[in-house]
Amino acid sequence: MANTQLANSTILIAGGGSGMGLALAKRCLDAHAQVVIAGRNDEKLARACEELKRPTQLKAITADISQEDQVAGLFAEIGRLDHIVSTAADITGAYELLPSLDLKAVQRVVESKLYGPLLLAKHGAPRLSKAGSIAFVSGIAAHRPAARGSAVAAVNAALEGLVRALAVELAPIRVNAVSPGWVDTPIWTFVAGGTKDATLSAMAKRLPVGRVGQPDDIADAIGFLLGNTFTTGTILHVEGGHRLV
């Protein structure tokens, strides 16, 4: 369902080339917003633009959100905007038991999910409209940690702390996050490799809702956070009941 409050607004989606960010881009375009998707990989962004098919409403900009000069350049190119979203995460090599955990992989998670959001807020907030908002994506690992997930759990928890602090510092700009449960996106290739389908099916059987999430479940929740002007500093859990089992 299209979110009518987003009509004519300009929305940056870092991570919009795949998964939840791509689903959100589609929703925002359907709601008649102007959308900018950003990520590091040109080809991924080009494929997303081809899939979304809305050349007059959609722009793709290559940028690594962990690099301050690139984030500053991204906002210089966009100009004024209404909402900033980041679904970006680089968890390559980060799902490991401690003996195999490489600090470089941990650093990539920190850079993409903590430095990136901090830099997006630093450089983007001054360009946001008064009714503007920021939304990030944390994750279930912070609330129902599992073995191999310590780095991601820690960074998701830190991001949630950042959201609450920014909601105070940047007010009246609203700052929120969605914390997803397990959602069927390309990120699972890095978590489960060839056992992705079996891992997700096993989780579907455990969850009260009887299925894992789809990217649009999370896009719907982010759309709510962008449009609801009485919500700030909130972590919205969209996880099929995962915290209960």
Ligand X SMILES: NC(=O)c1ccc[n+]([C@@H]2O[C@H](COP(=O)([O-])OP(=O)(O)OC[C@H]3O[C@@H](n4cnc5c(N)ncnc54)[C@H](OP(=O)(O)O)[C@@H]3O)[C@@H](O)[C@H]2O)c1
Q: How far apart are CA 176 and CA 126, in angstroms?
A: 17
> What strands, in cross-sheet order, belong to the sheet with 10-14?
58-62, 34-39, 10-14, 81-86, 128-137, 174-180, 235-238
Identity of the residue, 172 or 208, whose beta carbon is nearer to ligand X in the bound complex? 208
Asked whether position 88 contacts ligand X by CB under 6 A, the answer is yes
Q: Is 201 in the site for ligand X (CB under 6 A)?
A: no
In the complex, what is the shortest distance from the CB of residue 35 to ligand X, in angstroms, rounded to a whole number?
A: 14
186 binds ligand X (CB under 6 A): yes
Q: Which C-beta is closer to ligand X: that of 140 or that of 170?
A: 140
CA separation (Å) from 121 to 40, 84, 165, 188, 195?
19, 8, 11, 27, 36
Catalytic residue among 9, 18, 112, 138: 138
Q: Smallest distance from the beta carbon of 81 to ligand X, in angstroms?
A: 17
Cα distances (Å, whole numbers) of residue 215 to 75, 171, 222: 26, 29, 11
Please count the other Cβ atoms lying within 10 Å of the Cβ belonging to residue 18.
20
**Using CB under 6 A, which residues numbered 66 to 85 contact ligand X?**
66
Using DSSP bridges, classify how beta strands 128-137 and 34-39 pair: parallel, antiparallel or unpaired. unpaired
Among 27, 44, 83, 143, the residue binding ligand X under the rule CB under 6 A is: 44
Q: Is 80 helix (H, G, I), strand (E, B) or coil?
A: coil
Contacting residue, 10, 19, 61, 81, with ligand X by CB under 6 A: 19
Verify whether residue 112 is a known catalytic residue.
no
Token pair listed for 17:
């080339």
Name which position in 18, 176, 232, 234 contacts ligand X (CB under 6 A). Answer: 18
Residue 15 near residue 23, CB atoms below 8 Å: no
Interface stretch with ligand X, choices 4-12, 13-21, 52-60, 164-172 (CB under 6 A): 13-21
Among 41, 100, 195, 201, binds ligand X (CB under 6 A): 41
Looking at the Cβ atoms of 130 and 147, the one nearer to ligand X is: 147
C-beta of 191: minimal distance to ligand X in Å?
Answer: 8
Gap between the Cα atoms of 118 and 9, Å rounded: 22
Look up residue 208 and give its amino acid.
P
In this chain, which of 94, 187, 219, 238 binds ligand X, going by CB under 6 A?
187
Residues in contact with ligand X by CB under 6 A are: 14-15, 17-21, 39-41, 44, 64-66, 87-90, 112-113, 116, 137, 139-140, 180, 182-183, 185-187
Which residues are known to be catalytic? 138
